[in-house]
Structure 1
Amino acid sequence: MSGKLSSAANCQFSGDRNMSRTVTAAPPGLAMDWDFGALSACPNTDTLERTIRRMAWTTFHELRLEDEFCDVTIKVDDAEFRAHKIILSVCSLYFRALFSGRWTEAEKNVYHIPGIAPDIMRLILQYTYSNASINESINSDNVEELFMAADQFNILGLQWRCSDFLIGQLCPENCIGIGRFSSHFHCPKLHENSHAYIRHHFHEIASTSEELLDLSLTEFEDLITKDDLNVKREEVVFQAVIKWIEHNPNDRNQHITTLLPKVRLALINTKYLLNNVITNIHVKDNKECMNIVTGVLKTKYDLNAHGSSRSYFMNPLTRPRLPSAILLAVGGYSASNPTNIMESYDCRVDRWIDITHDMESPRAYHGTAYLNGYVYLVGGLDGIEYLNSVTRFDPVKKIWQKVAPMNDKRCYVSTAVLENQIYAMGGYDGHIRLNSAECYDPETNQWDLIAPLNEIRSDAKATTLNGKIYICGGFNGEEYLFTAEVYNPDTDQWSMIAPMWSQRSGVGVIAYGDLVYAVGGFDGVIRLHSAEAYNPANNSWNEIASMFSPRSNFGIEVLEDLLYVIGGFNGLETTFEAEYYDRKTDEWYGVHNMNIHRSALDCCILPGLPNVWDYAASRDTFYREGERRALSDGSL
């Protein structure tokens, strides 16, 4: 990105430009923009008609370049552009109003438009006559000026293309400037995406962005007040407040009393409060701030000693932030029957929420995959039939939809997502264990067979790391397997890798950091609590710390750099227990239990949901145990 985008917050608007925007309100029923792409994609448009339309607009473009039938001259600075009034009027209400005579005499053929650079006017005409080629002409040097011109001329299609370009350029260094730029226009997509990016990447922005320091008090206060500000540790917010103040201490030091209450201080470790907050020069010399911190310390003491009340969860100083991603647990066996229950895990308050949607049928021993905003359920068993069916769930619209079925029925299936496709491997079709594998392309809604596995595997598990798929363990109908293999999509080949230390069927396999982890499972005799990690760099497995509880056929996922295991069968009963592993400490930690006991479930991560509050614990409902854990010194 050039510096131009990052300085978007400083953009100024001339009086002429603001005035020009006032005449662009669309009358009822009138299209705002002539979108050729949308017309050509219309499913009800005959092929010949589409061809004629493309030829017509190609001809219009050629006529303009040859100055044939042109009836208007647009002057910007010293440049003149010949064009057709009817074409400009179709694409822009600005030009329609300009040429209609409401501003000037109807027969006028030369119009001077101030405030527009010749290069920008040239792009406006390029889009007006041939919008298909405009995307290649939009770049970081011209996008802001082109966006403003599109807004001035009320050409929504061009404004959307500029908006898409800016969204694609969002990064921690420029997102605040783009967000402030978007606030000057009615462009909800750019505004929502840029501000969501700011909240979701606040940790990186606080560390690297100079734009953050230029926010006004109101803008900065509004940002750190948001429930969905993505911070694992509230210390990051406190540090950002101090950094913002010290950017201009003479003028901003007075604002510490406004900003400190917006930091959720009760979520900060007591040691950090004593060593970093209460000793900070901007805090310790301010009586009001010291009273705030003292009150927080008392709150934390009372909470840990006596439990809490509803007011603590509702208090802005103690209110947990919303998670940036949701762990979703789907289906499984519960009470001896498959279930359709879905639960989401809110890691900020350590709480499971039942979000079941009854339209989906019960399913166990299935695979789950998250791809392009959809949750896919693949194969499995409904209690009667072994399934090749695949359904997908839209977590925003909350709608279920059937998609193309697999070529084979697959219970005990292994699934993975790689390069925008879903892979389904091995399993049991009700008659035999399988070594076949296939992949699904959502663009074509089609499953295609790929190279078969080297070994028959059902009840294995797969994951993706560095552009390859790893599948480990399983059962071949006679033996519980030590073996593992890797798939290279470039060659469509499976290759054996070093075997695991233990036989593992019903195993959990997940990529975590630079390693592939194989956790728990059944070795033919007992359920395992052991775990091991595979290093592709040296083709070797190494043991790691064991889980608290043995388990097989459980859910496994990585959320915020922690490896979670959920539910399963412990050798005696189906469990609702969960725990997580931290590779930095090589230790396991307890997690709040699910709402129901179940095994044969599967999990996936839903990142960046625009409606994350639908899947998170209500911040307006009190959870005694969840809040106590969230506010304890060890939880954050």
Structure 2
Amino acid sequence: MEFNTKHRKLSKTKNSVRAPSSAKPRLTKKKTIVRKRKCVCLPENYSVVEFPSIWNELRQNGQLCDGTIVCRDMKSIRVHRAILSAVSPYFKAIFINSLRKGEPEEKEIFVDVPSYYMNLILDYAYTGTCIVTAENVEYLLPYADQFDVVGVIQLCCQYLLQELRPHNCLGIFKFARYYFCGELEKKGKLYIRQNFSRILKECNEFKSLTFDELEDILRDDELNVRNEEIVFQAVKTWVEYDIENRKRYIPSLLSCVRFGHISYKYFKSKILQWQPVVDDSNTQEALYPAVVFHTLLDSRPGTEADLNDPLARPRIPYEILFAVGGWSAGSPTSFVETYDTRADRWFLSIHMDLTPRAYHGLCTLNNLIYMIGGFDGSDHFNTVRCYDPVANTWHERACGYNGRTRMSSVERYYPDKNQWEMTTPMNKQRSDASAASLSGKIYIVGGFNGQEVLSSAEVFDADTKQWSFIRSMLSPRSGVSLIAYRDCLYALGGFNGYSRLNTGERFNPSRGGDWQEVTEMFSARSNFATVLLDDMIFVIGGFNGNRHNLLLRF
């Protein structure tokens, strides 16, 4: 789906009105009507309207019709003026002749719109919905906007929001901005910020951005890039697409790059040696502060950059890593630490209303963090607490089953009802196992059954509500961490009954087959956490048999 608002600009003028041939000639209204309306495209403002089925029945049978619309292709469509006026202030004004007081009401009008699109708008007028596709949305939305049919505008914007992809989001964003769909424009810009790295690789329209559009994206504090090398690569790609006409923008665009987050080696070899920089003294002068910054930092090994320096100010992270509780210094803790990938810094906070615990489960759902079960050094918990990071508040939730043995049972939680219910049990009893979801299925691996460390693995199909065994792992693993990443499952670390492991293995469910070894971690560890950030697997904490570990990324 591609949009070209530059070459497909539709008129905002009122269309011609056709009176019956026996009365008066066609009148053309050329005056431009400038409408300032509140944006109505926000999908959550849209609700399906159930129209009486009799309306469409009368339309299909051509019964009780009292008006006619003649389209650009000269096809005539019989309509009910009251029904069409109810969904469109435009048609109401035309039919009742509100622009010419005292004149008879219009019964036949001409619209400079193909009958295909007019029929889609009529579908909505009579049924409350119409079919929006990739092939028709680019014209349907402007026509609906022209006739002020709010419901069709909302349907189109809903469709476009669902269709946002790296290859088309720039076009949709420009399209929304041109037609004053403010909320779709805002969500499109958010999508661009969040998926910028993929857009740079996959979107052909990136090279056609204007300088102002590109600069606006690259200066954004919320631009989601793993590192600033990506920002420089974006500048380089855009400039080299038309270097003669765009090289004058290089100094301004390079000022968007936060050089404090680029390695000195990359800065010297890739940026200072970029030919447009070598050839232009103005560009070299623009880079002088960055040269000084890197020279000073390189001369003082071990020194951290000042994050208040504009060159080193990190962008606002798209995701934050939360480490909650855990075992430290011989006892469970109630500490909450957050990790900012952009600044590469941990920040500690103490939550007085949080009971110290370790060996609990953590998961996120609807931007809330759920902490399930755990152990405080003497008691095992069946309690559940929910944390809202925005409000910085904890709330109690319904407790799960309070088991006293290793279990094969499985519980499912409904946040809306705040209720747990038992579902199909696993084939094996397990504690210290690890679970992950992938492609709508739940996988669980390893663990301890009270007698032996397990290498077995199972999968739960929510449709059939059945657990099935999959191929066992290469190593038995208790205190293992399982994570889904790029269509594969990764089982990392754990305890095999004799020692902690730094090994990992990968399984691709779509291909079946065996588990395959992956690169070893630096440190052996069990009972740790894993999470995905910036398209990388982060490994946090754990126990190596002697001491607790820190953070690694893979």
TM-score by length of structure 1 reads 0.72
Q: Which structure 2 residues correspond to residues 432-443 of structure 1 after superposition, within 5 A?
A: 432-440=405-413
User: Does structure 2 conserve the Cα–Cα contact (< 8 Å) formed by 1:32 and 1:92?
Assistant: no
Partners of 1:16 and 1:114 within 8 A in 2 = no
- Provide Cα deviations, 1:291-328, integer angstroms capped at 9, x if missing partner: 23343232112124348999953444333233333323
Q: Say if 2:75 is the partner of 1:79.
A: yes
* 1:483 equivalent among 450, 455, 465: 455
1:273 paired residue number: 267
Instruction: Give how far 1:67 is off.
Output: 3.9
Q: CA deviation at 1:161?
A: 1.4
Cα gap change, 1:355/1:116 in structure 2, threshold over 3 Å: closer, same or farther? farther
CA distance in structure 1 between the partners assigned to 2:502 and 2:156 by the alignment: 53
The residue aligned with 2:281 is 287
Using the aligned pairs only, state the percent identity: 34
Partner of 2:114: 117
Q: Which residue of 1 aligns with 2:220?
A: 226
Aligned to 1:14: 11
Post-superposition shift, 1:264? Answer: 2.3
Residue 76 to residue 299, structure 1, CA distance change in 2 (3 Å): same
Amino acid at match of 1:545: E
Counterpart of 1:497, as a letter, is R
Q: Could you tell me whether the CA contact under 8 Å between 1:456 and 1:476 is conserved in 2? A: yes
Are 1:468 and 1:486, in contact at CA under 8 Å, matched by a contact in 2?
Answer: no
Q: 5 Å matches for 1:227-626?
A: 227-306=221-300, 312-332=306-326, 341-354=335-348, 364-380=358-374, 387-388=381-382, 390=384, 392=386, 406=400, 408-409=401-402, 429=403, 431-440=404-413, 449-465=422-438, 468-477=441-450, 479-489=451-461, 492-495=466-469, 497-502=471-476, 504-512=477-485, 516-522=489-495, 528-535=500-507, 537-540=512-515, 542=517, 544-548=519-523, 551-569=525-543, 571=545, 575=548, 577-582=549-554
- Closer, same or farther in 2 for the Cα pair 1:349/1:84, shift >3 Å? same
1:331, 1:362 within 8 Å by CA — same for their partners in 2?
Answer: yes
Distance 2:455 2:41 in 1: 61
User: Which structure has the higher relative contact order (CA within 8 Å, separation 6+)?
Assistant: 1
Change (3 A) 1:101 1:231: same
Give 1:152 deviation, angstroms.
Answer: 2.3
Deviates more, 1:369-378 or 1:167-176: 369-378
Amino acid in structure 1 at the alignment position of 2:142: M
User: Contact (CA 8 Å) 1:562, 1:580: kept in 2 or not?
Assistant: no
Shift of 1:259: 1.4
Residue 564 of structure 1 deviates from its aligned partner by 2.0
Note if contact 2:387-2:395 (Cα within 8 Å) is conserved in structure 1: yes
Kindly state the Cα deviation for residue 120 of structure 1 after the two structures are TM-superposed: 1.6
Counterpart secondary structure, 1:16: coil
Q: Work out the CA distance in 1 between the residues paired with 2:266 and 2:260.
A: 11
Q: CA 1:393–1:108 in structure 2 vs 1: closer, same or farther (change >3 Å)?
A: farther
Residues 1:122 and 1:339: Cα distance change in structure 2 (over 3 Å): farther
User: What is the SS of the residue equivalent to 2:453?
Assistant: coil
Between structure 1 and structure 2, the one with the greater Rg is: 2
Quote how far apart the aligned CAs of 1:201 are. 2.4
2:348, 2:9 → 1: CA distance?
A: 49
Classify the secondary structure of the residue corresponding to 2:287: helix
Tell whether the 8 Å contact from 1:464 to 1:511 is kept in structure 2 after alignment.
yes
Alpha-carbon separation, structure 1, partners of 2:231 and 2:156: 32
CA RMSD of aligned residues (A): 3.9
SS at structure 2 position matched to 1:303: helix
SS in structure 2 of the partner of residue 183 of structure 1 = helix
Is the CA contact (8 Å cut-off) linking 1:555 and 1:568 kept in structure 2? yes
Distance 1:8 1:327, change over 3 A: farther
Contact 1:378 1:389 in 2 (8 A): yes
Distance in 2 (alpha carbons) for counterparts of 1:565 and 1:283: 40
Q: What runs of 5+ residues in structure 2 fail to find an aligned partner?
A: 15-29
Higher deviation after alignment, 209-218 or 337-346: 337-346
| Matched residue type, 1:501 | S
Deviation at 1:277, TM superposition (A): 2.0
What is the identity, as a one-letter code, of the residue corresponding to 2:444? I
Residue-by-residue CA offset, 1:199-252 (whole Å, 9 max, x unaligned): 222223223433122222111111111122222232332232233223333322
Q: State the Cα distance separating 1:36 from its structure 2 match.
A: 12
Quote the Cα distance in structure 1 between the aligned partners of 2:289 and 2:407. 63
CA apart distance, 1:158? 1.9
- What's the TM-score once normalised by structure 2's chain length? 0.81
Letter in 2 for 1:580: L
Aligned in 2, Cα 1:8/1:335: closer, same or farther, shift over 3 Å?
Answer: farther
Instruction: Report the AA paired with residue 520 of structure 2.
Output: A
1 CA distance for matches of 2:327 and 2:387? Answer: 20
Alignment CA distance shift 1:246-1:485 (3 Å): closer
Q: Residue 530 of structure 1: SS of its match in structure 2?
A: coil
